[in-house]
Amino acid sequence: MRRDLVLRVASKFILPPIMLFALYVQFHGDYGPGGGFQAGVIAAAAIILYGLVNGLARAQKMVPQALLEVLMPSGVLIYAAVGVAGLMTGENYLGYDHLAHDAVHGQEWGVFLVEAGVFLTVFSSMIAIFYAFAGRRRS
Partner 1 sequence: MMDPAFAEQAITLVILLLLAAVTVGIVRVRGLFAAVVLLGAYSFLMATLFVVLDAVDVAMTEASVGAGISTVLFLGALYLTDTKEATGKARELAPLAVAAITAAVLIWGMSDLPEFGSADQPIHAKGADYLARSLPDTGIPNVVTSVLASYRGFDTLGETTVVFTAGIGVLVLLRRRSGQGKS
Partner 2 sequence: MNLITGLMADATNIATIFLMVAGLYVVIARGNMVKKLVGLSLFQSSVYLLYLLPGKILGGSAPILDPKLTVYANPLPHVLILTAIVVGIGTLALGLTLVVRIKEAYGTFEEDEIIARDGAKAGEQGDVA
Q: Can you tell me the distance from the alpha carbon of 97 to that of 105, in angstroms, rounded to the nearest whole number?
A: 8
What lies within 8 Å, CB to CB, of 26 at 6+ separation is 34, 35, 36, 39, 115, 116, 119
What lies within 8 Å, CB to CB, of 139 at 6+ separation is none
CA angle 10, 60, 72 (to 5 degrees): 115
| Residue 16 C-beta: closest distance to partner 2, Å | 25
Q: Which parts of 36-65 interact with partner 1 (CB under 8 A)?
A: 36-38, 41-42, 44-45, 48, 52
Tell me which of 62, 70, 104, 132 binds partner 2, using CB under 8 A.
Answer: 132
Q: Which parts of 78-117 interact with partner 2 (CB under 8 A)?
A: none
* # of chain residues touching partner 2 (CB under 8 A): 12
Q: Is 33 a residue that touches partner 2 (CB under 8 A)? A: yes
Binding site for partner 1 (CB under 8 A): 25, 29-38, 41-42, 44-45, 48, 52, 69, 72-73, 75-76, 79-80, 83, 93-94, 96, 103-105, 107-108, 110-111, 114-115, 117-118, 121-122, 124-126, 128-130, 132-139
